[in-house]
Amino acid sequence: MTVGCMILTMYLLCLYVIFQSELVKSSCYKIMLYLGLMDTCCLIVNSLITGYLGFIGATFCSYPRFIYVAGAIGCGCWMGSCSTCILLAANRCSDINHNLPIRKMFIGKNVYITMMIPATYTIYAMFFTKPIIFDSNYMSWFFNPNLGLNSDLYVNVPYTVNNCCVSVCTASVYAYLSLLIHWKNEHAQSEALSKTQKQVFMQSIIICTCKATAAFIYVYMQFFNSPPPVILFGEIAWQCAHASVCVVYITWNKTIRRKVLHLIIPNLIRNRMKSRVRSSITSAHPIMNLMANEIINATRTNSGTAVTVF
């Protein structure tokens, strides 16, 4: 729960930086901004609410409405984030291969119309599919609330199809992108990818890989009897699938990292640090000049001595 608060705070700072900077003009970062909205909602459910419900030992019978609503939001935003990841992968394809017809979907204001696809899908998943239910015995979320009824009644088919699609689609698309990047670097030097394109590509592939891993584990948990370690790993994978986005932003994107640090560190402290660095450099200059003069004098002396000997 504590880690969830830290990640959530850092994530919100990253989203604020993206929204306030020039990055938001890119269609890729517009999609990432919506992905961030889905991730923050899921982090609230799988970190903060999960920690609270686990702390008090709650079950579905304890707070049925609250758990039902939280489960619907968590399930809907998860499926929405998965569809956004697939859209992000398609955006990366169109950015690297300009000949793809889908490139028009991400140019100009068309990207807003395109983003209506995951938004509509999120609403559908949230209101028209079965939610996940929290169980404090396993500190995780399940579709079956364990009320003694037939477990087949709680199978969420759209959720299963969603998880299978996100695993297969992201793996296929990024395999294609990897081959395309390799081909461009080997055979098309004039069309070599820029450093920024490669950086955004790596950010996207890490984000989508974490999503695909969590999706696969939860599909397995829904149809097979899973031991507690697998259930715990699935819950952690779900958390990491959303938290990894924030970590990727901070570690891989220098622009976001620099602007986030500017938000966290007050101006007074930054100015003091700059003044100390400048003063240290200024104080080091006389020493460097003195050393340089000594080296020059020593060189001249040696040269004069050599002439005298000969």
Q: pTM for the whole thing?
A: 0.78
What is the pLDDT, as a whole number, of residue 283? 53
- Residue partners of 135: CB distance under 8 A and separation at least 6: 59, 60, 141, 142, 145, 146
Phi, psi of 142 (to 5 degrees): -135, 160
Cα–Cα separations (whole angstroms), residue 33 to 3, 84, 216: 22, 10, 25
Structure-block tokens of residue 130: 């079965």
What is the pLDDT, as a whole number, of residue 75? 93
Can you tell me the distance from the alpha carbon of 51 to that of 66, in angstroms, rounded to the nearest whole number?
Answer: 14
* 70 DSSP 8-state letter: H
Can you tell me the distance from the alpha carbon of 181 to that of 178, in angstroms, rounded to the nearest whole number?
Answer: 5
Structure-block tokens of residue 253: 């994107």
- C-beta separation of 30 from 90 below 8 A: no
Tell me, what amino acid is at 275?
A: S
Listed by start position, the domains of the chain span: 2-264, 269-310
Which residues are registered as beta bridge partners of 135? 140
Helix/strand/coil for 21 = coil
Can you tell me the distance from the alpha carbon of 8 to that of 276, in angstroms, rounded to the nearest whole number?
Answer: 33
What is the pLDDT, as a whole number, of residue 176? 80
Chosen CATH of 2-264 out of 1.20.1070.10, 1.10.357.10, 3.40.1160.10, 3.40.50.300: 1.20.1070.10
Q: Report the length, in residues, of the chain.
A: 310
Look at residues 116, 118, 112 and name the one whose alpha carbon lies nearest to residue 30: 112
Written as tens digits, the pLDDT of the chain (310 aa) is: 778 788 899 899 999 988 888 888 888 889 989 999 999 999 999 999 999 999 998 888 889 999 999 999 999 999 999 899 889 888 888 887 888 888 889 988 899 999 999 999 999 999 999 899 898 888 888 887 765 566 677 788 899 899 888 878 877 887 787 777 777 766 655 444 566 566 666 766 777 777 777 888 887 877 777 788 888 888 888 888 888 888 888 887 788 888 888 888 776 675 666 666 556 555 545 544 544 454 445 444 444 434 333 2
- C-beta separation of 259 from 21 below 8 A: yes
CA dihedral 300, 302, 305, 307 (to 10 degrees): -70
Q: Degrees (nearest 5) of the Cα angle 196, 80, 239?
A: 80
- Residue partners of 80: CB distance under 8 A and separation at least 6: 38, 118, 119, 121, 122, 125, 126
